[in-house]
């Protein structure tokens, strides 16, 4: 049975956080998405380096401007995934229906946890990186339960 490598993203037009690993986080960080070309390069680099089986990310549910901006970056990620699938003759499992409040409740015990609560829980200054870590932990729980 192949190893299960999970990568999660907290997508934002300004800065996207990521967390990746097998069962536990092996690497995490964030990168700028102000340039969509640079964002695609970073997404492809992470996919090529880690060769994940599953990709997890949340879609925004509020604020029209945030939804529009994030949708551009999300499209770039989906393009990078398509190219990855084609290059390695794979079909990544993509879960893109994560909801912040559900993740917060499962991982932190409260669906009303603030960005500061999440950053404190993970000991990170970057809220994008902390959110990606939360999505990773939620993804691992989901996969273990299924």
Mean pLDDT for the chain overall: 92
* 15-37 residue pLDDT tens: 999 999 998 999 999 999 999 99
What does the domain layout of the chain look like in residue ranges? 6-145
* 104-121 residue pLDDT tens: 999 999 989 999 999 999
Quick one: pLDDT band at residue 57, thresholds 50, 70, 90? Answer: very high
How many whole angstroms separate alpha carbon 131 and alpha carbon 118?
7
- What pLDDT was estimated at residue 65? 83
- What pLDDT was estimated at residue 68? 87
Q: Distance between alpha carbon 111 and the CA centroid of its chain, in Å?
A: 18
> What CATH class does 6-145 carry?
alpha beta
What pTM was computed for the model? 0.92
In terms of Cα–Cα distance, which of 85, 63, 111, 80 is closest to 18? 80
Distances (CA, A) of 67 to 55, 58, 60, 62: 20, 11, 6, 7
Q: Is the pLDDT of residue 1 over 60?
A: no
- What pLDDT was estimated at residue 135? 96
């Amino acid at each position: 049975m192949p190893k299960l490598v999970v990568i999660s993203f907290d997508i934002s037009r300004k800065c996207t956080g990521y967390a990746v690993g097998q069962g536990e986080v092996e690497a995490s960080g964030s990168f700028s998405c102000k340039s969509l070309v640079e964002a695609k390069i970073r997404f492809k680099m992470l996919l090529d380096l880690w060769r994940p089986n599953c990709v997890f990310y949340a879609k925004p549910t509020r604020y029209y401007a945030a939804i529009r901006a994030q949708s551009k970056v999300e499209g770039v990620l989906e393009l990078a995934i398509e190219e990855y699938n084609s290059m390695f003759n794979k079909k990544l499992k993509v879960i893109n229906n994560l909801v912040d409040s559900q993740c917060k409740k499962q991982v932190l015990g409260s669906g009303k946890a603030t960005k500061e609560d999440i950053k404190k829980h993970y000991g990170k200054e970057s809220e994008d990186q902390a959110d990606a870590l939360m999505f990773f932990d939620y993804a691992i729980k989901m996969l273990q339960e299924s």
